[in-house]
Amino acid sequence: MQSNPTRVPNPAELTDDLFDALSDTYRRTVLTTLVQSPETTFDEVCATLTDRINADTEYVGTVLYHTQLPYLAAREFIDYSMETRQIRQGPEFQTILPLLRLVGSARETLQISWP
């Protein structure tokens, strides 16, 4: 769902991008953290994930750095800088925000782990 002024994503592509972004625990954690605050740090997300999934900090950091943050940034849900270790809501964050809130509020009814 990269911004391209000459191309508007069709609804099916947009739906796929939104649900795909939420299909991974790492990505859900980054996104739900940014619902609570428009900015966080790489270290804060790493610590949260390390506790949540009971994994090694180095492993979590590697997966975030090489896979999950680039994935979310490519879809413009986030902006991040490894120089400053900051993660922020990206230009398309408002597109996924209603879905994050909806699923978060229905997690008990759906009986799901969230994020």
* Residue 32 CB-density burial (10 A; 0-12 exposed, 13-18 middle, 19+ buried): middle
Residue range 33-69, pLDDT digits in tens: 999 999 999 999 999 999 999 999 999 999 999 999 9
CB-CB contact of 103 with 23 (8 Å): no
Q: Is the domain defined by 11-102 classed in CATH 1.10.10.10?
A: yes
Query: Starting at the edge strand that comes first in sequence, how are the strands of the sheet with 86-89 ordered?
Result: 39-41, 86-89, 78-81
Q: With bands split at pLDDT 50, 70 and 90, how would you rate the model's confidence at 112?
A: confident
Q: Which residues contact 60 (CB under 8 A, 6 or more apart)?
A: 26, 46, 49, 50, 53
- Distance, in Å, from the CA atom of 82 to the CA atom of 98, rounded to the nearest integer, reads 28
Q: With bands split at pLDDT 50, 70 and 90, how would you rate the model's confidence at 74?
A: very high
Whether this model's pTM surpasses 0.85: yes
Where exactly are the structural domains of the chain? 11-102
- Distance, in Å, from the CA atom of 115 to the CA atom of 24, rounded to the nearest integer, reads 9
What mean pLDDT do residues 12-32 have?
A: 94
The secondary structure of the chain in percent helix, strand, coil, rounded to multiples of 5, reads 60, 10, 30
* Residue 9 CB-density burial (10 A; 0-12 exposed, 13-18 middle, 19+ buried): middle
